[in-house]
Structure 1
Amino acid sequence: MNAAFDAAAIRARAEAAITVALEVGRETARFRRESDPGTLAVQSKGLQDFVTIADRRAEQAIRHGLISRFPDDTFMGEESGGQSEGAGTWVVDPIDGTTNYIRGFRHWGVSIAFVVGDKVEIGVVYDAAEDKVFHAVRGGGAFKDGLPIHAATTVDPANALIILGHSRKTSFDEYLALSKRLHERGMDYRRLGAAAIDLVRVAEGAADLCYERHLNAWDMLAGALIAEEAGAIVAMPPVSRLLAQGGPVIAHASGLAGEFAFILDIEGL
């Protein structure tokens, strides 16, 4: 751990992030329930890539909730930008799964990671579907509303449940080829549209694999740490590269490592 952050400093930040994620997540869910969809002021950032007034409000609330407590930390958010600099940086997606949020499909969440140097030290994800908070501190295990969680012990691919994400920055043909290969091995798969939530599904053992070829850092860092601390095997590029340009992530149950080794080869991880 970076000398600037002892265990007490990390724990204080983790507790603050849990509180902020729960408060902002619940308020964002309430706003969606009580708003006419037309008042969400949806703007397009690209094909199937949207931002709403709710995203901006949530990010402002998260920034205030964290930086007011820890003014020397830096902040990097999906909507407001920022750079990872100084001793420690909060990396935040205020609504991961904005398209789902807009349509009222509750597979979305709030993702908050704290990065020190090239390591994610804290991961916190609010899960809107269950109104619960997942969290992990590096080396301390993974938790769902304070109770320990563990990745699945699945060893038979015919019993495996897979979550595959897809970015329009990558090849759809390759996505289809991967889906076909997994299908032929007897695995069932889903595409749900919120990477942070996909990763905590692996952490809690509800899914056996989460894989996407390209994500931004704010989509994946919190969920990846939670999955790793829950006992899943997680592979992704160095954090510094992800902060600069994004990249792939794979998280899977350890008993199926042999089934997914080819994905690591594809990504060079």
Structure 2
Amino acid sequence: MKPAFDAAAFRARAEVAITIALEVGREAARFRRDSNPGTLAVENKGLQDFVTVADRRAEQAIRDGLLSRFPNDTFMGEESGGQSGGTGTWVVDPIDGTTNYIRGFRHWGVSIAFVASGNVEIGVVYDAAEDKVFHAVSGGGAFKDGRPVHAAATADPANALVILGHSRKTSFDDHLALSRRLHERGMDYRRMGAAAIDLVRVAEGTADLYYERHLNAWDMLAGALIAREAGAMVAMPPVERLLADGGPVIAHSPGLAGEFAFILDLEGLAPVTR
């Protein structure tokens, strides 16, 4: 089913989202830099699940900025919730990698996706480590500060660098078994703690795989589109399911498809196509 938008409407939304992501990301970085630990007012919502004053401020700024320009769109955010519907929905994580942000580890970002008729049409990710914005509009390629990015051409697993996420909703034993299997194939691996940034690392060719068994939609949708538009192979459940329940995501360099086919089989997924 085709969305009720033309290409110009998507480009207009992408331009606004890029500006907002950069402004909000820089403001969050300034707030973290200028704050002492007490000012961050951390509330523990559960083990490794934190929310800060910065999260709430960032999400409100994103919501206000987007809906003031596109009042007929709906909004779904990590902090304030919301539901998909209407002509299209913004799906937002104001600070992806909150624990990293709190501790001063600069592997965090701002993730903004736009979904229409069950498709991810726009992905925008602010990368705090480099103070740059990645973006993609479906069918138009992937960009980092306006310059095209491409997935790596890696074909030898001994040269591969992979990033593995882990959710406490899934088995840690399975995570260890996967790490061992990739290690035995000669791959180097990391766990960084910010899915949106991990996915754009695949998009720009810095990493060859990002895989996590369970994420929420706001963690993955923008980065997954950017990775796909950069030429990576991406697999995830249908968008409607992700919006409701979350799920797995796999993004990898195309030259290593044979190495990672077992992950697709494990999750029962096929690469995302339009």
> For the superposition of Structure 1 and Structure 2, which TM-score range results when normalised by the shorter chain?
over 0.9
Cα deviation digits, residues 176-210 of structure 1 (max 9, x gap): 00000000000000000000000000000000000
Give the equivalent residue in structure 2 for 1:169: 169
CA distance in 2, matches of 1:42, 1:86: 34
Determine helix, strand or coil for the equivalent of 2:45.
strand
Q: Which runs of 5+ in 2 are unaligned?
A: 270-274
Render the CA deviation track for 1:202-238: whole Å, top value 9, x for unaligned.
0000000000000000000000000000000000000
- Displacement after TM superposition at 1:3 (Å): 4.9
Equivalent position amino acid for 2:185 in 1: R
- The number of aligned residues is 269
* 2:116 match: 116
Contact 2:199 2:223 in 1 (8 A): yes
* Other-structure match for 2:127: 127
**Is 1:250–2:250 an aligned residue pair?**
yes
Structure 1 stretches of 5 or more lacking a match? none
Superposed displacement of residue 46, structure 1: 1.4
Secondary structure of the residue aligned to 2:140 is coil
Deviation for aligned residue 1:4: 2.3
Aligned to 1:220: 220
Checking the alignment, whether the CA contact within 8 Å between 2:158 and 2:185 is kept in structure 1 is: yes
User: What's the C-alpha RMSD, in Å, of the aligned pairs?
Assistant: 0.7
- TM-aligned CA deviation for residue 53 of structure 1: 0.4
Structure-2 separation of matches of 1:211 and 1:261: 12
Letter of the 2:248 counterpart: P
2:45 matched residue in structure 1: 45
Aligned partner letter, 2:204:
E
Q: What are the superposed Cα offsets for residues 46-75 of structure 1, whole Å, 9 maximum, x if unpaired?
A: 110100000000000000010000000000
If the length of structure 1 is used for normalisation, what is the TM-score? 0.99
CA contact (8 A) 2:112 2:125 kept: yes
Amino acid at match of 1:31: F
Structure 1 match to 2:272: none
* Residue aligned with 1:221, SS: helix
What secondary structure, in the 3-state scheme, does the structure 2 residue paired with 1:154 have? coil
> 1:180 aligned to 2:180?
yes
Task: Determine helix, strand or coil for the equivalent of 2:261.
Answer: helix
Percent same amino acid at aligned positions?
86
Closer, same or farther: CA 196–3 of 1 in aligned 2, 3 Å = closer
> Which amino acid in structure 2 is aligned with residue 168 of structure 1?
R
List structure 1 runs of 4+ shifted beyond 3 angstroms: none
Q: C-alpha separation between the residues in 2 aligned to 1:193 and 1:131?
A: 18
Q: Could you say what secondary structure the match of 1:177 adopts? A: helix
* Corresponding residue number in structure 1 for 2:157: 157
Q: Report the AA paired with residue 265 of structure 1.
A: D
8 Å Cα contact 2:3-2:116 kept in structure 1? no
- Mapped to 2, the partners of 1:163 and 1:267 lie a distance apart of 17
Q: Counterpart of 1:208? A: 208
Pairing of 1:47-196 with structure 2 (within 5 A): 47-196=47-196
Structure 1 CA distance for aligned equivalents of residues 262 and 2 of structure 2: 34
Amino acid at match of 1:157: P
User: CA offset at residue 150 of structure 1?
Assistant: 0.2
Q: Tell me the distance in 2 between the aligned counterparts of 1:190 and 1:49.
A: 20
Alpha-carbon distance, 1:38 to partner: 1.0
2:33 maps to amino acid = R
After superposition, the C-alpha distances for 1:148-196 in whole angstroms (9 at most, x for unaligned) are 0000000000000000000000000000000000000000000000000
Aligned letter for 2:164? Answer: L
